[in-house]
């Protein structure tokens, strides 16, 4: 597995279009409630939005899309809602994986799958194997994922494989073992549904990600809403610790002017 660059060790190249977008898809329940429908109707509708988001990201040149589908804390929900979400996950996998493959999309799932039904795990692993060679676009679904779980499992794996690192290790040693080790750190984080929190999503990887929060509920998040998020991203000055003045003078290839693209630049 390639080790992706750490934004705290090296300033990443950035462009007008975020290479990697990570989204907390929140607000399905409220969307349904607003329509006097059961929460489950909101989750079903949310799947439609996932399709729209994938298509829109590909059309705009985004390379990686990571979607938070079920958190390690979502088991705390009523059992019937958890069961419904699992069933929905299976049926979507059954319907969509071949289509993803036909569209040249690499499909990945990150999270602790050990708690999942064996049937789901098999679908996931088969889907990942089928699409592993696709490099046009990578869709990652975070299922039973938690940022803290990820850090803990990474430390555990690293020490199992390299016990000698217990005495001393660096970021690169650890990063190889993160569930998302194949993707660059997200450039843009989006949370729909109005809450302004990370909810234990990608804690390590969001270190220098641009954060965007919108009140739009996930089922209403369409291509136009995505464009608003990208436009907001394009207004940001990504300094990675430097001063604004430095960005104007740093030579190319050193994370300088072209590395931090403002809409007006």
Residue 74 is among the residues annotated as catalytic for this protein: yes
Catalytic residue among 28, 34, 74, 227: 74
Minimum CB distance to Mg ion, residue 69 (Å):
12
Query: Which residue in 199, 179, 202, 182 sits closest to 110, CA to CA?
Result: 179
Q: Binding to ligand IPE by residue 195, rule CB under 6 A?
A: yes
Minimum CB distance to ligand IPE, residue 167 (Å):
37
| Near ligand IPE by CB under 6 A: residue from 4, 6, 14, 28 | 28
Alpha-carbon separation of residue 166 from 42, 147, 152, 201, 239 (angstroms):
46, 21, 14, 26, 33
Measured CA to CA, the distance from residue 20 to residue 178 in angstroms comes to: 16
Helix and strand element counts for the chain (H, E): 8, 6
Residue 26 is among the residues annotated as catalytic for this protein: yes
DSSP E strands, the chain = 20-24, 64-71, 105-110, 137-145, 188-191, 210-213
Q: Binding to ligand IPE by residue 220, rule CB under 6 A?
A: no
Q: From the centroid of its chain, how far is CA 146?
A: 12
| Near ligand IPE by CB under 6 A: residue from 6, 7, 49, 71 | 71
Which burial class, exposed, middle or buried, applies to 166 when counting CB atoms under 10 A from its CB (0-12, 13-18, 19+)?
A: exposed
Decide whether 18 or 146 has the Cβ nearer to ligand IPE. 146
- Contact 183/138 with Cβ under 8 angstroms? yes
Answer with the entry of ligand IPE, Mg ion, none that 71 interacts with (C-beta below 5 to 8 A by kind). ligand IPE
Answer with the entry of Mg ion, ligand IPE, none that 69 interacts with (C-beta below 5 to 8 A by kind). ligand IPE
Answer with the entry of Mg ion, ligand IPE, none that 30 interacts with (C-beta below 5 to 8 A by kind). ligand IPE
Measured CA to CA, the distance from residue 26 to residue 71 in angstroms comes to: 11
Q: Which residues bind Mg ion (CB under 5 A)?
A: 26
Decide whether 62 or 85 has the Cβ nearer to ligand IPE. 85
Q: Binding to ligand IPE by residue 193, rule CB under 6 A?
A: yes
* Residues forming the site for ligand IPE (CB under 6 A): 24-30, 68-71, 74, 85, 193, 195, 197, 199
Q: Which residues are catalytic?
A: 26, 74
């Amino acid at each position: 597995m390639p080790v992706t660059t750490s934004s705290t060790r090296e300033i990443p190249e950035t462009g007008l279009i975020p290479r990697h977008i990570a989204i907390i898809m929140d607000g399905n329940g409220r969307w349904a409630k607003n329509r006097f429908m059961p929460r489950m109707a909101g989750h079903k509708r949310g799947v439609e939005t996932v399709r729209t988001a994938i298509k829109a990201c590909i059309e705009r040149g985004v390379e990686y899309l990571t979607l938070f589908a079920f958190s390690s804390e979502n088991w705390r929900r009523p059992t019937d809602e958890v069961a419904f979400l699992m069933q929905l996950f299976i049926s979507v996998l059954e319907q969509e994986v071949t289509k993803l493959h036909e569209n040249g999309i690499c499909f990945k799932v990150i999270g602790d799958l050990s708690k999942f039904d064996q049937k789901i795990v098999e679908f996931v692993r088969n889907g990942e194997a089928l699409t592993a060679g696709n490099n046009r676009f990578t869709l990652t679904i975070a299922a039973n994922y938690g940022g803290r779980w990820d850090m803990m499992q990474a430390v555990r794996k690293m020490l199992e494989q390299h016990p000698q690192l217990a005495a001393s290790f660096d970021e690169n040693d650890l990063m190889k073992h993160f569930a998302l080790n194949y993707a660059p750190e997200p450039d843009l984080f989006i949370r729909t549904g109005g809450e302004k929190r990370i909810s234990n999503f990608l804690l390590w990887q969001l270190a220098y990600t641009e954060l965007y929060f919108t009140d739009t509920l996930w089922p209403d998040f369409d291509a136009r809403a995505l464009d608003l998020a990208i436009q907001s991203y394009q207004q940001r000055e990504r300094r990675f610790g430097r001063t604004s003045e430095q960005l104007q003078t740093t030579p190319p290839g050193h994370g300088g002017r072209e590395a931090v693209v403002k809409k007006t630049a």
